[in-house]
Amino acid sequence: MAVQIQIRRGTASAWTAANPTLAAGEFAIETDTDFYKIGDGSTAWTSLGYSSLPSGSALLASPTFTGVPAAPTAAADTNTTQIATTAYVQTELGALSSDSIKDADNDTKIQVEEASDEDIIRFDTAGTERMSIGATGTVTIVGDLTVNGTTTTINSTTLSVDDKNIELGSVATPSDTTADGGGITLKGASDKTITWTNSTDTWDFNQGITVTGTATATAFAGPLTGNVTGDASGSSGSTTGNAATATALATGRTIAGVSFDGTANIDLGTDANMVLASQSFS
């Protein structure tokens, strides 16, 4: 008569619900995971660790896979699925170690530390370091940075830019229409703005401007006070002070019956004897 030996078995959830204490050396298996435990006679199931092969057992070499392994299914063998996943990680991402993740040829990687306890994370692509995060939190990006989003917020005390030219309104097809209303806003009790207005073709300042050096313009409009250098003969506005290159008075005057507009000298025709006679001498 044939002898049949059966091992205690059940699903993982069934074992957890029952939570028995296996006898010393008693073998029990989870039918839905293929994991097993060996009892010690005193530890309940949920506190008993899963068993594994002895340390001297020979492990099967991981097979070589090409392409992406199929996703595991409920009916798939767990051990086979685990082997396939491990092979996939090693083939596609490269070797895994305690301090880095790298591809097969070691030129693209994320490295935690190059030297002992330097506390720097490095990101390399194609053999070149592209970004690093230092121990103090400083992020250094070697290549270009492209940010796609609606709002970019920079919370820093000082913003330092090496480039001497800053572009604004750099859209796909820039025009005066897309530039309209663009400029710089300084936040204060009220906004201090420099704004481009397309309808007037001008830069508009909503605050006063103080110029220490020379201000040069092809024309002036509106009231101007102080010393003005340039053309003060604009069709609108007025100037107060010295107009250094003015050649005529805006409004002529009559002096002793002679018209004077500043374009030429005038002769009042005054008799010198009459001038002397009117003086008092002592």
On the question of pLDDT at 66 being above 70, the answer is no
pTM, entire model: 0.45
Q: Are 177 and 198 in contact (CB under 8 A)?
A: yes
Taking residues 78-94, report their average pLDDT: 44
The encoded tokens of residue 281 equal 């001498």
Instruction: In whole angstroms, give the CA distance from residue 135 to residue 122.
Output: 11
The encoded tokens of residue 247 equal 């050649």
Instruction: In whole angstroms, give the CA distance from residue 67 to residue 62.
Output: 15
Instruction: In whole angstroms, give the CA distance from residue 220 to residue 233.
Output: 9
Q: How many CA atoms, within 13 angstroms, populate the side-chain half-sphere of residue 212?
A: 0
Residue 251: pLDDT band (50, 70, 90) is confident
Q: Classify residue 214 as exposed, middle or buried by CB count within 10 Å of its CB (0-12, 13-18, 19+).
A: exposed
User: 189-229 pLDDT, tens per residue?
Assistant: 999 999 999 999 999 999 999 989 888 888 777 665 555 55
| Domain residue limits, the chain | 8-47, 93-141, 177-205, 214-261
**Dihedral sign (CA 85, 91, 96, 100):** negative
Collect all residues with Cβ–Cβ distance below 8 Å to 191 and sequence separation of at least 6.
Answer: 185, 206
